[in-house]
Structure 1
Amino acid sequence: MVGGGPYCCGVTGDLPRAAKALVGVRVLNQLGAYVLAFLAVLAGPDLAAWALGVFGIAALVSRWLGGVLLDRLAPRTVIVLGLTATGAAMLLLAAARGSWLVLAAIALVGLAFELYEPATQESLARITASEHGRRGDVYGLLGTSLVAAGAVGGLLAAVLLPIGVRWLVVVDAVTCLVAAAVALAFLEPEPVRPGASRVGGGGRWRPPGPLVRLTVAGTAFACGCLAVLMFMPFALLQRGAPEWLPGLALTGAALLAPLTGHFGRRILSGLRHEPVLAVGTIVLGLLALTMAAGRAVPLMVAAYLAWAAVDSVLQGRWQAMIAELAPEAERPRWFAFHGSSWGIAQPTVPVLVALAGGAAGGALLTAGGAFLLVPATLAATSPLRRLKGRATEP
């Protein structure tokens, strides 16, 4: 379920069974997680902007709600609840007719969409509590497995889209509900942490300053990644690439990521996360600037594949770092707060690209600048390690 084949078995064979089961659940769900790319198509040209805006805001709220639920429920319960709610909301969206009903259904999908994300990160943190050295491997395996599953999901979308965009939504709903059933059957029940609902000593929880700076760094990283992923195909076509090449480049990157991610994590396994992320984001920034400046299509494709390889090595580093640094009682809130960086980046990237001129070159320049901001912001989070094991003052 995690990807199949002897290569995958070699990667996962020595991981805890619970970790493999959780990765399998997320991979199964990811096979249908292609509807986001077609929300605008489903909503139609008149509603597209509203639909994407409603979904973005609701998904950001969903991430926070997932963290709050973890204060009161066990991770497996939140994962099953989130997947079931997402599947049910998807079925409502497939059946919705009329502008207001479509927007309401999209809002429900967004509110359910990220509920299970903090629970996934928290569950993996608990599973690897006794073997911190494996956390990077486990989180990295989750990230690269989801990339590979996304490539398969793209092929499913290519088959289903000619039938109708609503069938995409139905199949996505089915994968959510099947993943929820598999999670209920195979994930081990975990107790709610004693006193989890009293995070921060009963007062209002406030993220510590270093966590805020770490989230700023994560937001810059997310902006860089989204700018590349959203505009690289457009940049290739602008520079004369044949229409089949962007899809082939994306598929090649998805196939390359599990291999380079596995070997990269093995080589860098003994290093702390902060320096790896700092050096890695510098390399990502330079490759993005190369794509922005290069006019030759082969150079752009080579730089993009190299970018994807380096990005695969960094997969899971952010989550593993949060898992190691967060006080245990506050870890779900830390995951939810830091995870909101992607929700913030999603509407921010188009604005930044518009300010940069709107062209594909401007988008890749934006990506390069965002990546190069990360090391300086990470350097400001060094006091974070001193917070390990202490509760945050409300």
Structure 2
Amino acid sequence: MPRSVWLLVAARAINRLGAFSLPFLTVLISADFGASATTAGLLSAAFGLATIPSRLAGGRLATTLGRRRTIVAGLTGCAVAQLGIAAAGSLAEVAVFAILLGLAFELYEPPSQALIADAVGPADRVRAYGLLNAGLAAGGAGAGLMAAVLGRWDLRWLFVADALTCLLCALVLHLTLPVDRADRADRPAGRRGGGAERVRPWRDRALWAVFVPGTLFALVGMQTVMGLPLTLARRGLPPADAGLLFTASAVTAVLVQPALRLRRLASLSDSSALALGHVLLALGLGGYARASSLPAFVAATVVCGLGEVLVMSRIFGVVAGLAPRGGADGYLAAYGISWGIATVAAPVTSTQALEHLGAAAPWAGAALLCLALAATYLLLVGPLLAARDRSAPDGVGAGGGSVPAAATDPR
């Protein structure tokens, strides 16, 4: 992997190591300010809603200010907002800084993902994005331990520690990433920011074809984060055991990386790999519906982790490949809105489903949804991407950005 990829992975792992404060935002609001659960939930939803324009702004700023500046600005903004939450003296102040955190929270994602897409060839994007996800997973595995230590002392220190990791990540990337330079080659003369103006992701049917199932995938992922502790409690297990399950998922994401290079797996088309990932997710979610012991939950988590690795290692390369030359930032920003939507919706859908349908039905329903998504990728998305590849110039994949990994990777 190129040096820039390793730098991004290492810096984001550092950042992820401190990203344990958000799950405790509602606890802080309730414990320190006496707010009701409804109020705490609404503030968390407001944070999630703010991440949607943040993701779009990240893609836009990356094409105007530059990727390094956007990444550093986003991480610094997160740090300032986290420190504001830690020092807040009223519920109104917490609300303001939570929304500001949401507005800065996704700025660095589109330029980070686009840097990786441009740093490696199309055949290596699966491994590069898999490496990034593994780095984030490794940092997440340690985040729970830090949260357990600092959370017993004072919840506000969680936000201070998170701010420090954001600043450290920003400093590392500011010192090591290539300096931003204005690339005028793709911009028409006489038009300011012309390269960005030509990128119109939402007019691209192929992007919509992956955005809709991607949003449903993100909703399943966020439901897992929100619903697992509640499900454990209903099955007579400590809700805190969810931390062990999240750690098991992170370890799975790290250990499975060499499998992405296996010939049979690497030669799968993107649509087939995405379908296989959703089938594995369905099996794991079905396991959650039936599990009644911690080992059963761990086994289901490992299967879900395998499916998530397959999906996450492929989907960003697909989206980057749809973009025209110089437009990866905008396409990745548009696709990333799926996670903002899921962050807003999941707290409502997961809690309401568990309350009204019981502990098994929501997981069984999510499993059926993943099977439907697998069929969607095979029957609808795959043919659409293949037709787009055939209509592109020789040697250029969908959207002018990539070619299928199976066509170029001899492994």
* 1:8-41, Cα deviation, whole Å (9 max, x unpaired): xxxxxxx111110111111111111111101112
Contact 1:60-1:340 at 8 Å conserved across structures: yes
Matched, 1:170 2:160: yes
Partner residue, 2:336: 339
After superposition, the Cα gap between the structure-2 partners of 1:204 and 1:65, relative to the gap in structure 1 and judged at 3 Å, is same
Q: CA deviation at 1:296?
A: 5.4
2:207 to 211, 219, 240: 211
Q: CA deviation at 1:104?
A: 0.7
After superposition, the Cα gap between the structure-2 partners of 1:297 and 1:99, relative to the gap in structure 1 and judged at 3 Å, is closer
Contact 2:320-2:328 at 8 Å conserved across structures: yes
Matched, 1:321 2:318: yes
Question: Aligned AA for 1:232?
Answer: L
Matched, 1:88 2:85: no
Matched, 1:153 2:137: no
Which has the higher mean CA deviation after the structures are superposed, 176-185 or 193-202? 193-202
Partner residue, 2:281: 284
Partner residue, 1:185: 175
After superposition, the Cα gap between the structure-2 partners of 1:245 and 1:83, relative to the gap in structure 1 and judged at 3 Å, is closer
Q: CA deviation at 1:228?
A: 2.5
Q: CA deviation at 1:269?
A: 1.9
* 1:164-221, Cα deviation, whole Å (9 max, x unpaired): 1111111111111111110011112243443562257669763312211210011111
Matched, 1:76 2:76: no
Q: What is the CA–CA distance in structure 2 between the aligned matches of 1:375 and 1:309, rounded to whole Å? A: 15
Structure 2's unaligned 5+ residue stretches are 188-192, 393-397, 402-411
Q: What is the CA–CA distance in structure 2 between the aligned matches of 1:67 and 1:312, rounded to whole Å? A: 24
Which has the higher mean CA deviation after the structures are superposed, 381-390 or 280-289? 381-390
SS of 2:179's partner is coil
Q: What is the CA–CA distance in structure 2 between the aligned matches of 1:286 and 1:203, rounded to whole Å? A: 38
Contact 2:281-2:308 at 8 Å conserved across structures: yes
Partner residue, 2:359: 360
Question: Aligned AA for 1:107?
Answer: I
Partner residue, 2:407: none
Partner residue, 2:10: 24
Q: What is the CA–CA distance in structure 2 between the aligned matches of 1:334 and 1:239, rounded to whole Å? A: 42
Contact 1:228-1:367 at 8 Å conserved across structures: no
What is the RMSD of the two structures over their aligned residues, measured on CA atoms? 2.4
Matched, 1:135 2:135: no
Q: CA deviation at 1:244?
A: 6.3
TM-score (norm 1): 0.87
Question: Aligned AA for 1:125?
Answer: A
Q: CA deviation at 1:236?
A: 3.1
SS of 2:342's partner is helix
Partner residue, 1:8: none
Partner residue, 1:273: 270
- In the TM superposition, 1:100-115 aligns within 5 A as 100-115=92-107
Q: Percent of aligned pairs with the same residue?
A: 34
Partner residue, 1:237: 233
Contact 2:61-2:70 at 8 Å conserved across structures: yes
* 1:276-308, Cα deviation, whole Å (9 max, x unpaired): 001220221132123213445543332222222
Contact 2:226-2:347 at 8 Å conserved across structures: no
Which has the higher mean CA deviation after the structures are superposed, 190-199 or 173-182? 190-199
Partner residue, 2:25: 39
Q: CA deviation at 1:250?
A: 2.9
1:309 to 287, 306, 317: 306
Q: CA deviation at 1:380?
A: 2.4
Q: CA deviation at 1:243?
A: 6.0
Q: What is the CA–CA distance in structure 2 between the aligned matches of 1:172 and 1:298, rounded to whole Å? A: 31
Question: Aligned AA for 1:150?
Answer: G
Q: What is the CA–CA distance in structure 2 between the aligned matches of 1:58 and 1:243, rounded to whole Å? A: 28
Partner residue, 1:374: 373
Contact 1:89-1:109 at 8 Å conserved across structures: yes
After superposition, the Cα gap between the structure-2 partners of 1:70 and 1:302, relative to the gap in structure 1 and judged at 3 Å, is same
Q: What is the CA–CA distance in structure 1 between the aligned matches of 2:19 and 2:318, rounded to whole Å? A: 26
Q: What is the CA–CA distance in structure 1 between the aligned matches of 2:357 and 2:43, rounded to whole Å? A: 22
Structure 1's unaligned 5+ residue stretches are 1-14
Total equivalences in the alignment: 375
Which has the higher mean CA deviation after the structures are superposed, 272-281 or 115-124? 272-281
Q: CA deviation at 1:274?
A: 1.5
Matched, 1:260 2:256: yes
SS of 1:380's partner is helix
Contact 2:229-2:240 at 8 Å conserved across structures: no
After superposition, the Cα gap between the structure-2 partners of 1:167 and 1:370, relative to the gap in structure 1 and judged at 3 Å, is same
TM-score (norm 2): 0.84
SS of 2:267's partner is coil
Question: Aligned AA for 1:24?
Answer: A
Partner residue, 1:4: none
Contact 1:231-1:360 at 8 Å conserved across structures: no
After superposition, the Cα gap between the structure-2 partners of 1:114 and 1:351, relative to the gap in structure 1 and judged at 3 Å, is same
* 1:329-349, Cα deviation, whole Å (9 max, x unpaired): 322111011111111112223
Contact 2:207-2:322 at 8 Å conserved across structures: no
Q: CA deviation at 1:364?
A: 1.1
Q: CA deviation at 1:88?
A: 1.4
Contact 1:211-1:384 at 8 Å conserved across structures: no
After superposition, the Cα gap between the structure-2 partners of 1:358 and 1:349, relative to the gap in structure 1 and judged at 3 Å, is farther
Contact 1:223-1:370 at 8 Å conserved across structures: no
Q: What is the CA–CA distance in structure 1 between the aligned matches of 2:70 and 2:199, rounded to whole Å? A: 24
After superposition, the Cα gap between the structure-2 partners of 1:102 and 1:315, relative to the gap in structure 1 and judged at 3 Å, is same
